[in-house]
Amino acid sequence: MGKLWSGTVGRRFTILYAAGFLGSGIVLLALTFLMSGSRLTSVAPEQPPSGPSDLATAERQIRDLGRQLADVHAQQNHQLLVGSLIALAVMVGVSLLLGRVLAGRVLRPLRLITAATRRISAENLHQRLAVAGPVDEVKELADTVDGLLERLEASFVAQRRFVGNAAHELRTPLATMRASLDVAVAKPEPAAQTTALADRLRTELDRVDHLLDGFLVLARAQHSTLADRTPVSLGELAQEALAARAADITAKTLTVEFEVRPNAWTRGSPALLSRMVENMVDNAIVHNQEGGWIRISTEHDDTGTRLVVETGGRVLDQSRVDRLTQPFERLGADRTGSEGSSGLGLSIVAAIVEAHGGRLTLLARPEGGLCVAAVLPSAAGREG
């Protein structure tokens, strides 16, 4: 009964309607049966016959008539009971069908609201339910959802506008400062202190520019639509990322194991997916020890396309590893290379994976080191 009652609202409404009808039908039939039985009682003659022979004959006839009446009464009761049970069974079926129809009609507006709400996402927040009809609880619910969508749309628009304005307003002073440094250093025989200060400021400006770029990518992955979805090979992106960082790998004397399958394709934004793979590779290089190793592999199965980047090192705390997808989270100052990190690398990876409908897993390896696995929906590769 618990499983039966835990179904949909329509099923519960149907069962409740049928149960109510069945209960009222049983009560009505019981009252009818009792009232019909109380009306049929034993029959006695109004005036007894005068003679002895006539009296005996009359008594025998009365007994015969009583038995006949009792038989007729019992037969009538049996027929009434059987007919009532048949009618009750038929009406139970009718009540179930009628309850189902009524439940479907009553809940139809809620189904329409549910289906319309599921179709609305960050890409079409301008759509509204716009339920017509009398002002009742259903319309009040739909209007409340429309108001929520309107507020969400305004919030998304404001966030995207802020990202665009920030990109323009922050990059302009950075470019101005770079130009001023170039002018100062370009003067004839600049002072040694000026040259040293310019080099130091350029380094800091590069860090600010890198941090700003990370903010913009993170904002785009979290709040923008992905209109440039195309088939992308995670293996090719990983090869390109390793080739671009060959000097850093050599400088740390890292050993790279590369296992890529040809069917490791997904569908999404090439720019964002490229940034995702670059950040995963950067994280493996920057936060690695001298003479360490990196293992990069791709897999493809029913769950999707998977890119896995593993590194060796010391044993990490899984509870702290789980927080690395949050902006500016680090494992600590003692982590190798953390002073050169912006703290946005894995948070950008997590945002890009989520924007593509995938999932990111960070696992502290029992033998030491970190395993980062990004699972994305599979897609067919480009032809030719």
Tokens of 38: 């109380």
Look at residue 122 in the predicted model and tell me its pLDDT: 63
Lowest mean pLDDT among 39-53, 63-77, 136-150, 306-320: 39-53
Of 61-75, 163-177, 311-325, the range with the highest mean pLDDT is: 311-325
Look at residue 222 in the predicted model and tell me its pLDDT: 63
**pLDDT at residue 383 is higher than 70:** no
In tens, the pLDDT along 285-304 reads: 988 889 999 999 998 887 88
Look at residue 169 in the predicted model and tell me its pLDDT: 75
Tokens of 362: 């960070």
Sign of the Cα pseudo-torsion (331, 337, 343, 346, in order): negative
Q: Which residues of 164-201 are buried (b: 16+ CB within 10 A; e: fewer)?
A: eeebeeeeeeeeeebeebeeeeeeeeeeeeeeeebeee
In tens, the pLDDT along 40-98 reads: 444 444 455 555 677 778 778 888 887 888 888 778 777 777 777 787 777 777 777 87
Look at residue 132 in the predicted model and tell me its pLDDT: 77
Percent of all residues in the chain with a pLDDT value above 90, rounded to a whole number: 16
CB 112 within 8 A of CB 46: no
Look at residue 384 in the predicted model and tell me its pLDDT: 43
Look at residue 236 in the predicted model and tell me its pLDDT: 92
Which of the two residues, 13 and 201, has the higher pLDDT score? 201
**pLDDT at residue 193 is higher than 70:** yes
Q: How confident is the model at residue 39 (pLDDT cuts 50, 70, 90)?
A: very low
Nearest 5°: phi and psi at 295? -120, 120
Q: How confident is the model at residue 323 (pLDDT cuts 50, 70, 90)?
A: confident
Lowest mean pLDDT among 160-169, 332-341, 343-352: 332-341
Beta strand 370-376 with 359-364 is antiparallel
Mean pLDDT of 259-270: 85
Look at residue 381 in the predicted model and tell me its pLDDT: 63
99: part of which helix (H) or strand (E)? helix 52-119
Look at residue 51 in the predicted model and tell me its pLDDT: 56
This prediction has a pTM of 0.56
Look at residue 336 in the predicted model and tell me its pLDDT: 41
**pLDDT at residue 228 is higher than 60:** yes
Which of the two residues, 345 and 253, has the higher pLDDT score? 253
12: part of which helix (H) or strand (E)? helix 9-39
Cα–Cα distances (Å) from 167 to 53, 133, 215, in that order, read: 126, 46, 9
Percent of all residues in the chain with a pLDDT value above 70, rounded to a whole number: 80
Look at residue 36 in the predicted model and tell me its pLDDT: 61
**pLDDT at residue 341 is higher than 70:** no
Q: How confident is the model at residue 337 (pLDDT cuts 50, 70, 90)?
A: very low
Nearest 5°: phi and psi at 189? 50, 65
CB 364 within 8 A of CB 370: yes
Which of the two residues, 43 and 213, has the higher pLDDT score? 213
Q: Quick one: angle between helices 52-119 and 9-39, nearest 10?
A: 170
